[in-house]
Amino acid sequence: MGYNWINSVVDAYKDSESPQRFYYWAAITAMAAVMRKNIYLDRFHYKLYPNIYVFLIAKSGMKKGIPISLCKSLVEKSEASKVISGRNSVPRVIYDLGKLKTNANGTVPYKEAQALIISGELASFLVKDLDGLKVLTDLYNTHEHEEKWENSLKSTGIDTLTKPCINLFGATNDDHFAETIPKSDVKGGFIARTFIVYSMDRGLPNPLVDPPSSIIDVNSFVPYLKDLAKLKGEFKWTKETADWYKTWYIDFMQNLPENDVTGYYNRVGDSILKVAMILSLSKRLDLTMDLDALQEAKAECMNCGLAAHQISMGGSATLSGQTRIVIRALLSHPEHKISRTQLLKRYWGDINGYDLDLVIENLLGAGMIEVKNIGKDRIYVMKDAVVNEYLIYEKKVRGV
């Protein structure tokens, strides 16, 4: 199959309890960060740069922080892009990006506002900043700010970023996500620009008593990133990749999934191409679109679309997290039903009896479920029409 830098990173962490998909996206984000604004795909009306926003979402204790730290370490060791991490607000990040700072040698290593923003906890990063997501939404569109981006809304003056190119890699759990991302940003474009990488499954249990079969040397992954950082120019289609993408895109856009409150699928074409460029370069440092990489990018981006759809169900309502738990439990059951006792046992700590009753009342009022009493227990059953609607939505998204 040949060399694949991303796969080599993921394979190195096969003994980790963190979900493997989290390492996959950590590697993708690291590559995007070091590429900065050096590489683009000509979209004729604009240049498409492969900068990305990625959020890892899983329950607390799922070890999201390890892939986050890996990505941070890889980019820092590459010395190819500025890394901003810690408890920051978006205005502070903008201020830091706009200032030219000298290092110990008296030189300025990063003269342009091209950086990776790392957030181990999304809620902490966006602390006391109601407009932060709107600023990040604007900065995502790198092609709209070829030379500079200005923020003149602050009373302290004008912040100017030179040739901005921002990558964002963060993590949170779905309850904090619902609390942090208001409906205006779920529907207003931020989530449409963000890859939501959701996992309910941790890796293989590992008590971490015995040493691993092989010691991971993070430094061994850095030379490829340094070589990647030197690459510049226009990404090119092959006839095979161009024909495949045109056929898929026209069919998909004529049959867009319904009820996409985030707007993710209206932008998914560009999202796929961003990831496809990165996956292609993971195989070889050549600015040519690879068909397998393009098809893999399509599948991964569609999975992120499903995650965005699921995580956005219920908006920012108080019970949105518990509502999603119940809906996912019903959808995943072969007969789409589950008892009250089973729910409370399986999701102990995530949902209590009082909140469960409120969720059930809301789902009953929405006509999504039926409730049957069997002995002393209550059975919740999702209606066939609701199940079918979701399955049709999923089929359209996955393209099967």
pLDDT tens-digit series, residues 56-91: 988 777 888 899 999 999 999 999 999 988 767 787
Listed range (10-14, 193-197, 198-202) with the worst mean pLDDT: 198-202
Higher pLDDT, 52 or 199: 52
pLDDT at residue 273, as a whole number: 98
Domains, the chain, with CATH or none: 5-231 (3.40.50.300), 320-398 (1.10.10.10)
pLDDT higher than 50, residue 19: yes
Listed range (128-132, 329-333, 386-390) with the worst mean pLDDT: 128-132
pLDDT higher than 80, residue 214: no
pLDDT at residue 166, as a whole number: 93
Convert 294-316 into a string of H (helix), E (strand) and C (coil): HHHHHHHHHHHHHHHHHHCCCCC
Binned at pLDDT 50, 70 and 90, residue 338 comes out as very high
pLDDT higher than 60, residue 101: no
Closest CA to 183 of 128, 258, 263, 119: 263
> How many residues are recorded in the chain?
400
Strand intervals (E) in 38-144: 39-42, 47-48, 53-57, 82-84, 114-119
How many C-alpha atoms does 9 have within 13 Å on its Cβ side?
A: 29
Q: How big is the chain by its Cα radius of gyration, in Å?
A: 22
pLDDT at residue 155, as a whole number: 46
Query: Which pair of tokens denotes residue 305?
Result: 């679309």
Average pLDDT over residues 149-156: 64
Higher pLDDT, 284 or 190: 284
pLDDT higher than 70, residue 143: yes
Give exposure, 323-343, as e/b (b: 16+ Cβ within 10 Å): bbbbbebbeeeeebbbebeeb
pLDDT higher than 60, residue 35: yes
Q: Using CA atoms in the order 190, 235, 75, 305, what is the torsion angle rounded to 10 degrees?
A: 30
Binned at pLDDT 50, 70 and 90, residue 346 comes out as confident
pLDDT > 70 in the chain, percent: 82
pLDDT higher than 80, residue 190: yes
How many C-alpha atoms does 123 have within 13 Å on its Cβ side?
A: 10
Query: Which pair of tokens denotes residue 274?
Result: 């961003």
Listed range (79-83, 208-212, 228-232, 311-315) with the worst mean pLDDT: 311-315
pLDDT at residue 314, as a whole number: 46
Query: Which pair of tokens denotes residue 316?
Result: 């920012």
Listed range (26-30, 291-295, 359-363) with the worst mean pLDDT: 359-363
Listed range (196-205, 215-224, 341-350, 369-378) with the worst mean pLDDT: 196-205
Binned at pLDDT 50, 70 and 90, residue 117 comes out as very high
